[in-house]
Amino acid sequence: MRCYLVHTNLLLSVPVRYWQDFQDTLARATNANIYIFDANGAPFSRFSLPAELCQEVNKGGKLHNEKCIDFYKLACGSLEEKDMLTCPYGLKLCAYRLGSHAQRIGYLMVAPSRHTTLVEREEEIAFITKAHNIYRTINEVFSAILEKNLLGLRRLELNSIYEISRLMTSIVELDRVLELITNSLIIIYQADLCFVGLREGDKIKVAQGKGVNGSQLIGKEWPLVHPLIERIFSKVEPSSLSIEELKVLPGFTGTEAAPGTEIMVYPLWTALGIVGLLGIAAPVSLGDSGSKNLQIYINFAAVALANATLIRRLEREAETDYLTGFLNRRVLRDVLAAELQRAARYGYHMSVIFMDIDDFKAYNDTFGHLAGDVVLQKTAELIKNSIRTTDIACRYGGEEFIIILPGTKGGDAAKVAERIRKSIETYPFPHRRITASLGVAQAKKNDSVDSLLARADQACYQAKERGKNHLCLDPS
């Protein structure tokens, strides 16, 4: 399906499905709501973010009503270049005219992602700056599409690539960077397919795919030693491939390409080494100019992906215990608080297991910390093998572990605890047998993180009092 933005003399043809994806990606990347009208003031795209914002402003009424439509038509009709407006329901937004003085394409509205009155001057300036960046990006992309569609020129590709690259390098969330890269390339080059694979150890794993059958590529893995992958990374320039050459990679077996389709695969290099690769299939040749422009974009994309990947790794390391891979104590409190709220909201049961390895200090003192680390790692593995994927395990500190079991009554949690106890007791640890004491508590109405953990801890203490290698269920 195609829709058309109309201006005074010319028609701008834009695939609405791809445009909405691109617009939504920009909205998520910038945490702003975006809406576009054509030159006659009629809606071109829908709001990018959920309708809760307007429903909230609208006091629970419909997203759009006659008052809203009249307001936007009037605003578009009287807008010179840009303005800051307040809708009939009090929502502040920035309005821009798209196109040039000679060629009016349409109108852009940018609103906050949440209901705010922007009363603080600093908050208002920050929002205006964000809205202006969005305007520059959208205006350049529309202009590039217009010029390419009607005049066959690609000069403005560079401008739109510059604007998107500027936004891209300011985003740290990996998923949003991937979305912005693929959606923007689909729009700028009207590509049939775009995919990004990220390096994970000794393989490339496809993290994002857009366009024809793009989603089917996500998750496919290609070894770095695969002859085609080795060939792609044997140089810094892109490789031009035929569809027959690409079919040797998992995910492309049944893929076909129309005659004239140009398939380019770019290796993503940074100073840190291989980040991944980016592939694009366009219905017409990019030409020398288009290829050079795209190479500039690819260079920005490689840096943005490297930054986002590094930040994601640091965030994960900050949340997990390096020895066991479980969540650490700091994150546990937030996770447990969220699970308590969810259980209370939806009315389901939830239980917690508090586990302590018996006489671990004596084991450490006798056999050394390295041997103690082996016990902790193996114990974590035994716990992981005894619980569901929906359960959440945490190293609480030292030799203490917490397991959160959503949707589980205390009695059923005790069965899980007993399974863990037995698996530890019977595992052939080096040096001597290892046992653990466990306490189980079921969450009660109005339980806090501290009160629930305190009851589970007390039950574990009772298990110790009974001679260790026991489990106790909190009776309250």
Structure tokens, 218? 């996500």
Side by side, which strands form the sheet with 104-112?
32-38, 104-112, 92-99, 82-86
Radius of gyration of the chain (CA): 29
> What kind and span of H or E run contains 206?
strand 203-211
* pLDDT recorded at residue 257: 81
Residue 140 sits at φ, ψ, to 5 deg, of: -70, -40
* CA 470 – CA 265 distance, rounded (Å): 59
Structure tokens, 277? 């690769």
| Three-state secondary-structure class, residue 334 | helix
* pLDDT recorded at residue 315: 74
Residues 6 or more apart in contact with residue 312 via CB below 8 angstroms: 174
Side by side, which strands form the sheet with 392-397?
392-397, 400-406, 350-357, 436-442, 471-473
* pLDDT recorded at residue 156: 60
| Three-state secondary-structure class, residue 299 | helix
Contact 355, 403 (CB under 8 A): yes
* CA 142 – CA 148 distance, rounded (Å): 10
First CA to last CA across the chain, in angstroms?
62
* CA 293 – CA 159 distance, rounded (Å): 10
* CA 374 – CA 310 distance, rounded (Å): 28
Out of 399, 400, 418, 465, which one is annotated catalytic? 399
Per-residue pLDDT of the chain (476 residues; tens, 9 = 90+): 344 444 443 345 555 557 788 888 888 888 888 888 888 877 777 777 655 556 555 554 455 556 677 788 888 888 888 888 887 777 788 999 988 766 778 889 898 876 665 556 777 787 888 888 889 888 888 877 777 665 555 556 677 777 787 777 777 788 888 988 998 888 888 788 999 999 998 999 999 999 888 889 999 999 999 999 999 999 888 999 998 999 999 998 888 888 888 899 999 988 778 899 999 998 877 777 777 778 888 888 898 898 888 888 887 777 888 889 899 888 898 899 999 998 988 888 999 999 999 999 899 888 988 899 999 999 999 999 999 988 999 999 889 999 999 999 999 999 999 999 999 999 999 889 999 999 999 999 889 999 999 999 999 999 999 999 999 999 87
* CA 261 – CA 263 distance, rounded (Å): 6
Closest-CA residue to 238 (of 200, 190, 290): 290
* CA 439 – CA 427 distance, rounded (Å): 21
- The widest CA-to-CA distance across the chain, in whole angstroms, is 88
Structure tokens, 334? 């937030």
SS3 breakdown of the chain: % helix, strand, coil, rounded to 5?
A: 45, 25, 30
The residue whose two tokens read 């030292």 is 398
- Say which amino acid occupies 391: D
For residues 92-131, one letter each, b for 16 or more C-beta atoms within 10 angstroms of the residue's C-beta and e for the rest, the string is bbbbbbbbeeeebbbbbbbbbbebeebeeeeeeeebbebb
- Does residue 399 have an active-site annotation? yes
Predicted TM-score of the model (pTM): 0.58
The residue whose two tokens read 């809708």 is 87
* CA 393 – CA 383 distance, rounded (Å): 8
Contact 133, 141 (CB under 8 A): no
* pLDDT recorded at residue 23: 86
